[in-house]
């Protein structure tokens, strides 16, 4: 029928008339959780297909030799796909999603729906020492962003649906629906209100049902608690918390230091070759670092330490428990380096699995040390320490202690360990927070002022877009202009009482206000002899658009006491920001933010 409206427009009209906004958000949260769960299924199965092919009869007799080659091939394929198929740069999942919340109003580009779905399984399947959790989160986030656009969601609800996608992805992967909700709240800084809780719950529920439909009752860590917690072990769990906290600090520092080291090679091809070769050497000599590492975690939980270590050059010495402990400590030391090298070479993945791997090995290592120190009557559960070690490291690295506690308790049925889980997580988080203000997810964003936190004032300033409050209707003057020329060409035509003084390259060299010339601007005898350069003065502060976030802009106004400050972009004058306009924008953003 001519003139008939498109189906989507008709649906919107019907929805606005018959469905409340709250009900529709509930509906979208279910769809988001379901699709995020399907994304998790696809990523996991695609990865397993690649791993099964590589571990087939073709290479089964030479598998350890191929540990050197596979990672280079995987990284090369990933880089080629990103360059020639996706044709857009990819960054790591959770930080990229946090940046979308802070600076893109909760919107991700459409290619994020499928980019990680293709690249992450190739990276991990070929042995990249990273995890699949962050790529799954960003796939779900891309889907939720697309749904938000087509159904005209506002920014608050777009951010909520991103949280639903994260909760759905984690719920499907780990079969831990409560921990998934807490993850979305802690990591994405969502307000835990009834408005946000119900969508998160529905998304988590629909995702875990998806997981049961495709994977049955299988879990990543199929472990049942065997050894009960005793109060006599409490001091040793405190020791584990301290070690976990210090190890989490090492994780963050080593992660960024390694990436910084490989960033020295600006050529992507050179960096790929060097990082790929480095990773190949590491995996050849330390095979347990290959891939996600959940099989290693399960072997440690079952007490099969020698099997977990695999074939090493120290096989003849494994009867000595201290050699075993040293090898386990080596796994803790090198896992984060292998993960950072994978990212540096262009791999796509996440750090969640590496953190769990390191935590489990660390906990097992500490338990073995305590059990072999010869302390009378002391023998602690190595499986429990393996379990609690994951919680400790996760709490420190991610700054998400509640997520860590409930995740490990849910996926392993370790509810009998709530006390050691809590004390280890609390101590580890406290130590990491003392040394590092932000989690490994938020550190890079925090430096740029792009990190949303639970501090509402800080969150509002992060969301505030400084670009939108810059005023440019100021008449520029030159330092070599005479006072007469300024009065005729600028003062007489301007509605502002402030004038930027710029040179021929449009660089700001000073400012003049009407107060500066009020006493002389009607003295015609000074018009031809007085130059603007002799009247101008420096601004009390300068705002640098590329590097100053809104929080820094607010601080400069507070410290300088100024009502207007000039903005510099690419070294040139760009306009002014007024304190009144900044505070008005802040108040409006605060009202909008508080409605979530």
**DSSP per-residue letters across 318-362:** TTSHHHHHHHHHHHHHHHHHHHHHHHHTT---BSHHHHHHHHHHH
Is the residue at 224 inside a domain? no
Residue 202: strand, helix, or coil: helix
Find which of 143-157, 240-254, 576-590 is predicted with most confidence, using mean pLDDT: 240-254
* Separation between Cα atoms, residue 309 and residue 138, nearest integer Å: 32
Using 50, 70 and 90 to split pLDDT, how confident is the model at 100? low
Is the residue at 198 inside a domain? yes
The reply to whether 286 and 422 lie within a common domain is yes
> Could you tell me the CA-to-CA distances from 535 to 188, 513, 515, 564, 573 in Å, in that order?
51, 9, 11, 18, 19
Question: In the chain, pLDDT over 70 holds for what percent of residues?
Answer: 89
What's the pLDDT tens digit per position in 554-595?
A: 888 888 888 888 999 888 998 888 888 887 777 776 665 555
What's the pLDDT tens digit per position in 5-38?
A: 677 777 767 777 778 888 888 999 999 999 999 9
Is the residue at 1 inside a domain? no
Task: Report the chain's C-alpha Rg in angstroms.
Answer: 29
Confidence (pLDDT) at 411? 81
Is the residue at 519 inside a domain? yes
Is the residue at 225 inside a domain? no
CATH number reported for the structural domain that contains residue 444 in this entry: 1.10.3080.10
The reply to whether 122 and 183 lie within a common domain is yes
The reply to whether 293 and 419 lie within a common domain is yes
Q: Which of 451, 478, 503 is the last residue of a domain?
A: 451
Is the residue at 222 inside a domain? no
Confidence (pLDDT) at 191? 66
The reply to whether 246 and 363 lie within a common domain is yes
Lowest mean pLDDT, pick from 86-100, 234-248, 544-558? 86-100
The reply to whether 324 and 417 lie within a common domain is yes
The reply to whether 26 and 99 lie within a common domain is yes
CATH number reported for the structural domain that contains residue 494 in this entry: 3.10.580.10
The reply to whether 315 and 432 lie within a common domain is yes
Q: Which one, of 166, 162, 158, 205, lies nearest residue 182 by Cα?
A: 166
Output the pTM of the full model: 0.79
What's the pLDDT tens digit per position in 252-275?
A: 999 999 988 998 888 888 999 999
Using 50, 70 and 90 to split pLDDT, how confident is the model at 63? low
Q: Which of 156, 189, 215 is the last residue of a domain?
A: 215
Compute CA 164 distance to the chain's CA centroid, rounded to the nearest angstrom: 16
> Does position 106 have pLDDT exceeding 50, yes or no?
yes
Confidence (pLDDT) at 306? 87
Q: Which one, of 456, 497, 467, 439, lies nearest residue 595 by Cα?
A: 456
* Separation between Cα atoms, residue 145 and residue 105, nearest integer Å: 10
Q: Which one, of 443, 344, 339, lies nearest residue 98 by Cα?
A: 443
* Separation between Cα atoms, residue 168 and residue 34, nearest integer Å: 7
The reply to whether 159 and 202 lie within a common domain is yes
The reply to whether 437 and 583 lie within a common domain is no
Lowest mean pLDDT, pick from 36-50, 104-118, 401-415, 486-500? 104-118
Confidence (pLDDT) at 522? 82
Q: What is the mean pLDDT of residues 171-178?
A: 91
Query: Residue 451 phi/psi, 5° resolution?
Result: -105, 125
Positive or negative torsion for Cα 279, 285, 291, 296: negative
The reply to whether 133 and 19 lie within a common domain is yes
Using 50, 70 and 90 to split pLDDT, how confident is the model at 1? very low
Using 50, 70 and 90 to split pLDDT, how confident is the model at 105? low
> Helices 352-371 and 294-301 sit at what angle, rounded to 10 degrees?
30
The reply to whether 416 and 546 lie within a common domain is no
What domain range includes position 555? 461-594
Q: Which of 451, 484, 499 is the last residue of a domain?
A: 451
Q: What is the mean pLDDT of residues 164-182?
A: 91
Residues 6 or more apart whose Cβ sits within 8 Å of residue 530 = 482, 483, 520
Confidence (pLDDT) at 389? 95
Identify the residue with better confidence: 58 or 281.
281
> Does position 86 have pLDDT exceeding 50, yes or no?
yes
Using 50, 70 and 90 to split pLDDT, how confident is the model at 333? very high
- Across the chain, what does the average pLDDT equal? 84
The reply to whether 122 and 238 lie within a common domain is no
Identify the residue with better confidence: 492 or 340.
340
Number of domains in the chain: 3
Q: Which one, of 33, 38, 31, lies nearest residue 168 by Cα?
A: 33
């Amino acid at each position: 029928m001519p003139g008939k409206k498109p189906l989507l427009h008709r649906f919107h009209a019907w929805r606005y008339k018959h469905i409340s906004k709250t009900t529709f958000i509930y509906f979208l949260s279910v769809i988001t959780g379901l699709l995020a769960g399907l994304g998790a299924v696809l990523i996991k199965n695609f990865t397993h297909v690649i791993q099964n092919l590589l571990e087939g009869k073709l290479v089964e007799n030479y598998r350890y030799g191929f540990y050197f080659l596979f990672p280079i091939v995987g990284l090369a394929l990933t880089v080629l796909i990103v360059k020639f198929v996706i044709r857009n740069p990819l960054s790591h999942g959770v930080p990229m999603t946090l940046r979308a919340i802070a600076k893109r109003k909760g919107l991700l580009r459409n290619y994020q729906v499928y980019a990680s779905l293709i690249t992450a399984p190739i990276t991990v399947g070929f042995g990249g020492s990273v995890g699949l959790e962050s790529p799954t989160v960003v796939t779900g986030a891309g889907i939720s962003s697309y749904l938000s656009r087509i159904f005209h969601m506002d920014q608050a609800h777009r951010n909520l649906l991103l949280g639903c996608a994260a909760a759905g992805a984690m719920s499907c992967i780990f079969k831990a629906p409560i921990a998934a909700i807490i993850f979305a709240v802690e990591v994405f800084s969502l307000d835990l209100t009834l408005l946000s809780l119900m969508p998160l719950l529905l998304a988590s529920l629909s995702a875990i049902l998806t997981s049961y439909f495709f994977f049955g009752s299988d879990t990543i860590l199929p472990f049942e608690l065997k050894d009960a917690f005793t109060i006599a072990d409490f001091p040793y769990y405190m020791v584990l918390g301290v070690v976990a906290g210090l190890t989490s600090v090492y994780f963050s520092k080593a992660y960024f230091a390694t990436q910084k080291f490989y960033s020295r090679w600006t050529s992507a091809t050179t960096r790929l070759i060097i990082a790929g070769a480095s990773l190949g050497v590491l995996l050849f000599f330390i095979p347990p670092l290959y891939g996600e590492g959940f099989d290693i975690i399960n072997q440690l939980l079952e007490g099969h330490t020698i099997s977990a270590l695999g074939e090493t050059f120290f096989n003849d010495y494994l009867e000595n428990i201290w050699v075993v402990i040293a090898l386990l400590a080596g796994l803790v030391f090198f896992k984060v380096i292998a993960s950072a090298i994978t990212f540096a070479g262009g791999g796509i993945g996440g750090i969640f699995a590496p953190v769990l791997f390191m935590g489990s090995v660390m906990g097992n290592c500490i338990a073995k040390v305590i059990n072999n120190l010869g302390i009378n009557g002391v023998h602690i559960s190595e499986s429990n320490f393996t379990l609690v070690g994951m919680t400790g490291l996760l709490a420190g690295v991610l700054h998400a202690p509640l997520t860590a506690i409930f995740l490990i308790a849910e996926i392993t049925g370790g509810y009998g360990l709530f006390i050691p889980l809590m004390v280890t997580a609390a101590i580890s988080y406290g130590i990491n927070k003392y040394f590092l203000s932000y989690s490994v997810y938020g550190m890079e964003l925090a430096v740029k002022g792009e990190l949303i936190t639970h501090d509402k004032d800080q969150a509002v300033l992060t969301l505030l877009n400084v670009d939108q409050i810059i005023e440019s209707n100021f008449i520029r003057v030159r330092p070599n202009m005479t006072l007469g020329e300024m009065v005729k060409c600028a003062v007489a035509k301007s509605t502002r009482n402030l004038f930027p003084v710029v040179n021929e390259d449009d660089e700001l060299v000073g400012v003049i206000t009407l107060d500066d010339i009020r006493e002389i601007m009607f003295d015609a005898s000074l018009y031809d002899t007085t130059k603007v350069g002799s009247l101008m003065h420096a601004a009390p502060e300068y705002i640098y658009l590329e590097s100053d976030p809104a929080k820094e802009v607010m601080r400069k106004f507070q410290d300088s006491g100024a009502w207007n400050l000039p903005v510099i972009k690419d070294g040139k004058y760009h306009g002014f920001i007024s304190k009144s306009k900044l505070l008005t924008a802040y108040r409006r953003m605060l009202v909008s933010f508080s409605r979530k």
